[in-house]
Amino acid sequence: MKANVTTAQTQPGKADEAIRIFRDVVIPDIKQQQGFKAAFLLTDPTTGQGVSITMWETEADLKAAVASSSHQAHLAEFARVFAGPPTQGVYEVSVQA
């Protein structure tokens, strides 16, 4: 299994909007994509820092999701609330409980 990990900083006062976008826009969309396994959004309400983790059955599934037009639309929507560009990495899920 593969994980796409994205870290971002929200603009002051925009963390709740970023959470809403992830919950109401991103999740319903990615649940429909092939190979989707799970998604998590971790936030620090004090700093506005956030980490999203999406898990995919295969690397091909993850790459297809990231290359999709809906992913690009999600990034454009988040651009309104992020303080700067997010960082992304792809990881192997080595242990799951």
pLDDT in tens, 32-47: 999 999 999 999 999 9
Give the structural domain span for 14: 2-92
Q: Name the band, by pLDDT with cuts 50, 70 and 90, for residue 88.
A: very high
- Total of domains in the chain: 1
pLDDT of residue 86: 95
Domain presence at residue 41:
yes
Counting beta carbons within 10 angstroms of the beta carbon of residue 10, is it exposed (0 to 12), middle (13 to 18) or buried (19 or more)? buried
Residue 53 in tokens: 């983790």
Q: Does the pTM exceed 0.85?
A: yes
Which CATH number fits the domain that encloses residue 12? 3.30.70.100
Counting beta carbons within 10 angstroms of the beta carbon of residue 78, is it exposed (0 to 12), middle (13 to 18) or buried (19 or more)? buried
